[in-house]
Amino acid sequence: MAYIDFKRLNRIHDEKAFFVVRAKENFQGTIVKSYGSDVHQGVLKDTLQKLNVYQSRRNYPSNVRVVEFFDIEQHKTFTFLTNNLKIKATTVAQLYKYRWYVELFFKWIKQNLKIKSFWGQIENAVRIQIWVAISVNVLVAIVRKKLSIEHSLYESL
């Protein structure tokens, strides 16, 4: 079973950045403030809460925004946690959904470009590694086509 790393979320919060994560089913909080709901937009609940579980509260002492959202496409209710109090509740749900697209992109990179880990952590290093992998794939695809090689791209690589 997965868990939420409230220590890490607190470091993100301390750096003045924001996060959006999905709450676990056993999430426990006490409502400090309610921002209302907008059922027509899928927002069932938008509240500011204090964490109830001692360890979680110790690791993340600030209040957390809890957005309960009904996704009409999936016919499912999701609960999100964020420290961003300025954006709309629907934006919180969209950010989480877009996060999934980013994860799918990295899954594609791992599967198709055969990048298992990045050699550098600087943005430019990651970009270079991805572009080199894409370039190699394109070059091999061109060679396969020019030479009428019937092996798959994977076998050719």
Whether the Cβ atoms of residue 35 and residue 45 lie closer than 8 Å to each other: no
With H, G, I as helix, E, B as strand and everything else as coil, classify residue 97: helix
pTM greater than the 0.75 cutoff: no
Q: For each of the chain's 157 residues, which pLDDT tens digit applies?
A: 457 999 999 999 999 999 999 999 889 999 999 998 999 999 999 999 999 999 999 999 999 999 999 999 999 999 999 999 999 999 999 999 998 888 898 888 888 888 888 888 899 998 999 999 889 888 888 888 888 888 776 666 6
Token output for 109: 């990179």
- Indicate the domain borders of the chain: 6-103, 113-156
How many angstroms separate the CA atoms of 129 and 50, rounded?
43
Other beta carbons within 10 angstroms of residue 69's beta carbon come to 24
Other beta carbons within 10 angstroms of residue 49's beta carbon come to 19
Please give the DSSP secondary-structure letter assigned to residue 41: G
Which helix (H) or strand (E) covers residue 68, if one does? strand 64-71
β-sheet bridge partners, residue 71: 76
